[in-house]
């Protein structure tokens, strides 16, 4: 199957060739002809499947086939809008589409918060065909009248499930109200909750439905490993794994912003250059950390799920779940950051006693059994000697995760309630060129 045989024109095929894509991915094979035909689409596909080209290429082709009439004020109209949940994803999608548009004469603009609005306003003064935006910043532009959505011909909701999780539904509805009713709508989502189905019903007209959502879960390019370890040993084990295997680029997931900050600081102290990205960091700091990581100057990037959504690092070799996500689907999203486009990747999960129920849910979802490996020197206490699990507070934002976190990894003073203290740590540590660091106090 070639891109040309899907009906894409020569300019696009050339741009794709220059991106190094030789054949379409499954989502592209399915989505491209359907979008070219002009109908609405409901697609089950997550980041990593090649979905951006799946909607971006036919979008570019359709837009290049017709000329848009100027707006009443003489300006060229915005013809397509792609909404994404996060700034990182907006930046990345725009970057990809810009590459695909190289020979199509269509212009793109990324628009997100956390950076000055002025350059975006200035750009909107010129010809912009495709806007890739997060909902909040787009609405800022709408209210300042720097953007006119009345001529949008195509709308894409990218990672729609995540947008709903993040509470963007009202914003999305306000944005839709600014667009003409007659347009092509594409909705991409990794999961299909009732909320998503409701949104799809109101947004889409006779949509075609395609699905490749589980690709990452079963991708045989991702080797998944699971280490059983006590919570207060996780950081030491992580430092050891990174040093021992000499991993040069590893993306580590924590559950909370606070946990991400602390872990990055501790790894840095361990001599492993690390930075954290999460929603509380300024856009500048996030972009800086991400680009240093991509350039290989930063060895470890610690991220929360939301900040990492959609991060695309080509050939990212290692992903670590420092803590398992509460939602099993997020495991699939996380490990989907590695093993992309046929390149081999490894996903490591550090599992402590209280995470075993979460692991069960993940096993069910990925339809695989997780074999727990135990590293000498990092043996967890037997289940019968584990301290009672602290019940997370009902409010997800506050107690739950952070309560768990505050015990995680570094409170050596307290050790774990089983009172193992440091026995058998340094002396039992595995022999290796680089001895593991076991200073539990961080
Ligand atoms: P996406 O799911 O759109 O975020 O794409 C995931 C990654 O796959 C990106 O780095 C794309 O550049 C890459 N990609 C997309 N389509 C192809 C393809 N047909 N062949 C190889 N790589 C691709």
187 strand-pairing partners: 42, 157
320 CA to centre of ligand 1 in angstroms: 22
What angle is formed at CA 366 by the lines to CA 400 and CA 331, rounded to 5 degrees?
Answer: 35
- Atom of ligand 1 at shortest distance to CA of 22? 20
Give me ligand 1 centre to Cα 327, in Å.
25
Measured distance CA(151)–CA(78) in Å, rounded: 7
For the chain, 442 residues long, give each residue's pLDDT as a single digit of tens.
899 999 999 999 999 999 999 899 889 999 999 999 999 999 988 777 889 999 999 999 999 999 999 998 889 999 999 999 999 899 999 999 999 999 999 999 999 999 999 999 999 999 999 999 999 999 999 999 999 999 999 999 999 988 998 899 999 999 999 999 999 999 999 877 888 989 999 999 999 999 874 444 445 677 899 999 999 999 999 999 999 999 989 999 999 999 999 999 999 998 999 999 887 877 788 888 888 988 888 999 999 877 776 566 666 789 999 999 988 878 887 887 776 555 678 899 999 999 999 999 999 888 888 999 999 999 999 988 888 776 655 544 333 333 333 333 333 333 333 333 333 333 333 333 333 333 333 2
| Residue to substitute in 17, 21, 98 for testing ligand 1 pocket (most ligand atoms within 8 angstroms of CB) | 21
Cα gap 337→143, rounded to integer Å? 36
Q: Whole-angstrom Cα distance, residue 110 to residue 97?
A: 10
254-292 core/surface letters (b: 16 or more CB in 10 A; e: else): bbbbbbbbbbbbbbbebebebbbbbeebeeeebbebbee
What pLDDT does residue 342 have?
56
Q: Which atom of ligand 1 is closest in space to residue 24's alpha carbon?
A: 19
Beta bridge partners of 303: 253, 277
Which position has the token pair 């003064």? Answer: 125
Place of tokens 């398992």: 324
Alpha carbon distance 249, 266 (integer Å): 17
- According to the model, what pLDDT value does residue 393 have? 53
CB 416 within 8 A of CB 231: yes
Q: Please, which residues have CB within 8 angstroms of residue 287's CB and are 6 or more apart in sequence?
A: 91
Spacing, Cα 399 to ligand 1 middle (Å) = 38
The answer to whether the pTM exceeds 0.75 is: no
In the chain, DSSP finds a helix count (H) and a strand count (E) of: 17, 14
pLDDT of residue 343: 63
Give, as one character, the DSSP assignment of residue 431. Answer: P
- pLDDT score recorded for residue 30: 94
**Phi-psi region for residue 341, left (φ > 0), alpha (ψ -120 to 50) or beta?**
left
Residues with CB under 6 A from ligand 1: 21, 24-25, 28, 47-53, 96, 312, 314, 340-341
| Pair 43, 27: CB distance under 8 Å | yes
**Radius of gyration in angstroms for the set of CA atoms belonging to the chain, rounded to a whole number:** 23
Q: For residue 419, what pLDDT is reported?
A: 33
Helix (H, G, I), strand (E, B) or coil at 349: strand
Widest CA span in the chain: 77
For a mutational test of ligand 1's pocket, the pick from 311, 341, 345, i.e. the residue with the most ligand atoms closer than 8 A to its C-beta, is 341
Atom 6 of ligand 1, residue of closest alpha carbon: 48
Query: What pLDDT shows up at residue 321?
Result: 96
**CA of 48 relative to ligand 1 center, distance in Å:** 6
List helix spans (H) across 37-159: 51-65, 87-100, 118-124, 135-143
Residue 24 CB partners (closer than 8 Å, separation 6+)? 1, 2, 3, 6, 32, 50, 53
CA 341 / ligand 1 centre spacing (Å): 6
Output the CA 96–ligand 1 centroid distance in Å: 9
Closest residue (by CA) to atom 5 of ligand 1? 50
């Amino acid at each position: 199957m070639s891109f040309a045989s899907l009906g894409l024109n020569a300019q696009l095929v050339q741009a794709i060739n220059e991106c190094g894509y030789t054949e379409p991915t499954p989502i592209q094979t399915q989505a491209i002809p359907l979008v070219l035909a002009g109908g609405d689409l409901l697609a089950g596909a997550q980041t990593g499947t090649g979905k951006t080209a799946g909607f971006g290429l036919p979008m570019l082709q359709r837009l290049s086939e017709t000329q848009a009439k100027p707006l009443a004020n003489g300006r060229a109209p915005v013809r397509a809008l792609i909404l994404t949940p996060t700034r990182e994803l907006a930046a990345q999608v725009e970057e990809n589409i810009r590459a695909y548009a190289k020979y199509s004469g269509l212009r793109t603009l990324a628009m997100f918060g956390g950076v000055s609005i002025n350059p975006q306003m200035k750009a909107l003064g010129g010809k912009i065909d495709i806007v890739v935006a997060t909902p909040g910043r787009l609405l800022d532009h709408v209210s300042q009248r720097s953007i006119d959505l009345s001529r949008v011909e195509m709308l894409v909701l990218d990672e729609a499930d995540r947008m709903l999780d993040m509470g963007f539904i009202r914003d999305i509805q306000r944005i839709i109200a600014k667009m003409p009713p007659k347009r092509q709508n594409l909705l991409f989502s990794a999961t299909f909750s009732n909320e998503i189905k409701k949104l799809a019903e109101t947004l889409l007209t006779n949509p075609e439905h395609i699905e490749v959502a589980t690709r990452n879960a079963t991708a045989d390019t991702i080797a998944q490993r699971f280490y059983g370890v006590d919570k207060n040993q996780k950081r030491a084990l992580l430092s050891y794994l990174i040093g021992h295997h000499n991993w040069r680029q590893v993306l580590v997931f924590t559950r909370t912003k606070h946990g991400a900050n602390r872990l990055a600081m501790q790894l840095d102290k361990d001599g492993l250059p690390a930075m954290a990205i999460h929603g509380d960091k300024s856009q500048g700091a996030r972009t800086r950390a991400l680009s240093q990581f991509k350039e290989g100057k930063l060895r470890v990037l610690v991220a929360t799920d939301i900040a990492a959504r959609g991060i695309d690092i080509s050939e990212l070799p290692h992903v670590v779940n420092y803590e398992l996500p509460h939602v099993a689907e997020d495991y699939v999203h996380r490990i989907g950051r590695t093993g992309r486009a046929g390149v081999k990747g490894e996903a490591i999960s550090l599992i402590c006693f209280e995470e075993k129920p979460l692991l069960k849910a993940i096993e069910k979802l990925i339809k695989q059994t997780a074999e727990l490996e135990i590293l000498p020197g990092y043996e967890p206490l037997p289940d019968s000697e584990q301290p009672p699990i602290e019940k997370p507070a009902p409010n997800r934002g506050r107690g739950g995760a952070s309560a768990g976190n505050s015990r995680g990894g570094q409170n050596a003073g307290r050790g774990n309630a089983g009172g193992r203290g440091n026995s058998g740590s340094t002396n039992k540590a595995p022999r290796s060129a680089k001895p593991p660091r076991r200073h539990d106090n961080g």
